Amino acid sequence: MPGDRLTQEDRRRIAAWLTEGLTYTEIARRLNRPKSTITREVARNGGPEDYRADHAHQLTRLRARRRKPTPLPANPATAAAYGRDPKAVFAFEQRLTELMIATGCPRMVARILSCLFTTDSGDLTSAELVRRLHVSPAAISTATRWAEEQGLIVRERGARGKQRYTLERKVGHRSILANIRSNELLAELSRQGAGILGRTTPAGARLDKAGTFLLLISQDLADSAERRGREVFGA
């Protein structure tokens, strides 16, 4: 399958086809893989002239063992501070991340938010996130851009031009407001659909009721969020 790792047999086929003079494009087509997968595989294992299947397979297994990180809390300093139990901190971060993912948050964004939530300062640089989450700078950049657009974090330029990310002061409040806005849009669309289908028809009546319910709930949530936000966060 395209998303699976290359097997030893795949590598033997690649070696044979390279000997036959097949292009990377043709090899990728025969293996049902992206061309980039074949290009990287050959480049990192000797190139088209020196590619050897068994040797490439062994090197790949060694690389996988070397780069597999030992499970540790995302924030080692946080785990050690105030006499905290590192295992408990790590378990909490994992539960928090999985819960956010289950509620619709993108996985990498959830990992970053969990990292920031459990950091006493509430802020980390891009480089610190890369080290603690064992991911590429590009992954951090993409995820933080999304989180910033949603009003969950704030991007600041620190010393020497380093990007520093901070949790938005009212991050929970902002999240609720975003959900309210989504419900309002869905309510409006449902009521438009009811008008198109006819509110007296079964489908139209169903959409009309769903839209009315969502609109009423959104109004209640908005009023509650504004009141509780003032109580917790202040003006």
* Fold topology of 76-168: Arc Repressor Mutant, subunit A (1.10.10)
* Average pLDDT over the chain, rounded to an integer: 84
For residue range 56-102, what is the model confidence (pLDDT) as tens digits?
A: 888 877 766 655 444 455 566 566 677 778 888 888 888 989 988 88
Lookup: tokens for 165: 């990310």
Instruction: For strands 163-167 and 153-157, give the pairing.
Output: antiparallel
For residue range 90-139, what is the model confidence (pLDDT) as tens digits?
A: 888 889 899 888 878 899 999 999 999 888 888 899 899 998 888 899 99
Q: What is the pLDDT of residue 70?
A: 45
Mean pLDDT across 161-184: 78
For residue range 191-233, what is the model confidence (pLDDT) as tens digits?
A: 999 999 999 999 999 999 999 999 999 889 888 888 887 888 7
The domain locations on the chain are 8-67, 76-168, 172-233
User: Taking the CA of residue 76 as centre, how many other CA atoms within 13 Å lie in the half-sphere pointing to its CB?
Assistant: 8
CA geometry: angle 72, 57, 38, nearest 5 deg? 95
Question: Which stretch of DSSP H or E encloses residue 142?
Answer: helix 137-149
Asked if residues 139 and 126 have their Cβ atoms less than 8 Å apart, the reply is no
Give CA–CA dist 25/30, Å, rounded. Answer: 9
Residue 163 φ then ψ, to 5°: -75, 125
Give CA–CA dist 45/99, Å, rounded. Answer: 40
Mean pLDDT across 165-184: 79
Type of residue at 27:
I
Name the burial class of residue 186, with classes exposed (0-12), middle (13-18) and buried (19+) by CB atoms within 10 angstroms of its CB: middle
Position 4 confidence tier, pLDDT thresholds 50, 70, 90: low
Q: What is the pLDDT of residue 205?
A: 93
Give CA–CA dist 41/56, Å, rounded. Answer: 8
pLDDT at 142 over 90: yes
Q: With a threshold of 0.85, does the pTM exceed it?
A: no
